[in-house]
């Protein structure tokens, strides 16, 4: 029970920080949250935030941004589909919503569109009676989370250190790590240090190396 309460507090804390980061960013742009028509692609706000340096670097950066957005889209859809079968108060459901909140915040900052993935929120509610996620579904979710986390980590090379997008990426990877720990019991499931890939310990690298 104490672990569940601590987890819920961490969820609330991450969601609050994400909301504050977005508010600060838009306030610093001069007039709070953007009104009117939003950029249709990364050529708008995303380009202004991400692109620095030579033309070649700008092109490479936009490719990285596009790849990250698609990874966010895919991971969010999987989270929505899996969360639709879980009871609202179930710990795993809280974890899914936490990562979705982090995804939405990062996608908003990259593209300037606050509801970039709104189409995913239509028609995904089901009975919502489950308490836990089944083993095959857990493996599928861990793969999606790992791909999304990897894309976010790679994107860090293209953004300002300690900037608003850098911080949002940090919140996303942290929320993914929290959910992965819930699902696997391993605190460093996606870690890259030697201990995380040690034989007998569950990690993403070990799971990926298992025969199909």
Instruction: Note the pLDDT of residue 34.
Output: 45
Is residue 116 in a domain?
yes
Is residue 37 in a domain?
no
Is residue 130 in a domain?
yes
Instruction: Note the pLDDT of residue 16.
Output: 64
Is residue 38 in a domain?
no
Query: Domain total for the chain?
Result: 1
- Chain length of the chain: 212
Is residue 131 in a domain?
yes
Angle at 158 between CA 32 and CA 174, to 5 degrees: 70
Instruction: Note the pLDDT of residue 14.
Output: 58
Instruction: Note the pLDDT of residue 44.
Output: 38
Query: Within its chain, how far is the Cα of 88 from the centroid?
Result: 20
DSSP string, 42-74: TTTHHHHHH--SSHHHHHHHHHHHHHHHHHHHH
Q: Which long-range contacts (CB under 8 A, 24 or more apart) does 203-208 make?
A: 204/142, 204/146, 204/180, 207/139, 207/142
Is residue 36 in a domain?
no
Q: What CATH number is attached to the domain comprising 20? A: 1.20.1260
DSSP-derived letter for residue 83 is H
- pLDDT means per 10 residues, the chain with 212 residues, are 53 58 55 42 41 52 78 95 88 90 88 85 67 90 95 85 85 92 90 56 80 60
Question: What is the residue range of 144's domain?
Answer: 2-30+43-209
Is residue 26 in a domain?
yes
Single pTM value for the model: 0.72
Instruction: Note the pLDDT of residue 109.
Output: 84
Answer yes or no: are the C-beta atoms of 168 and 160 closer than 8 Å. no
């Amino acid at each position: 029970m104490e672990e569940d309460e601590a987890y819920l507090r961490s969820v609330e804390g991450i969601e609050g920080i994400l909301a504050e980061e977005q508010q600060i960013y838009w306030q610093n742009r001069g007039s709070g949250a953007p009104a009117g028509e939003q950029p249709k692609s990364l050529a708008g706000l995303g380009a202004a935030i991400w692109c620095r340096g030579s033309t070649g670097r700008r092109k490479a950066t936009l490719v990285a941004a596009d790849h990250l957005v698609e990874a966010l889209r895919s991971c969010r859809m999987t989270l929505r589909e899996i969360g639709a079968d879980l009871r609202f108060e179930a710990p795993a459901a809280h974890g899914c919503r936490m990562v979705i909140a982090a995804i939405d915040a990062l996608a908003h900052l990259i593209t300037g569109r606050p509801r970039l993935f709104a189409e995913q929120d239509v028609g995904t509610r089901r009975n919502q009676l489950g308490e836990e996620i089944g083993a095959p579904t857990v493996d599928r979710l861990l793969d999606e989370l790992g791909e999304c986390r990897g894309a976010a980590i790679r994107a860090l090379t293209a953004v300002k250190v300690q900037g608003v997008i850098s911080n949002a990426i940090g919140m996303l990877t942290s929320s993914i790590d929290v959910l992965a720990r819930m699902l696997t019991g391993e605190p460093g499931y996606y870690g890259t240090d030697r201990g995380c890939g040690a034989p007998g310990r569950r990690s993403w690298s070990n799971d990926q190396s298992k025969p199909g």
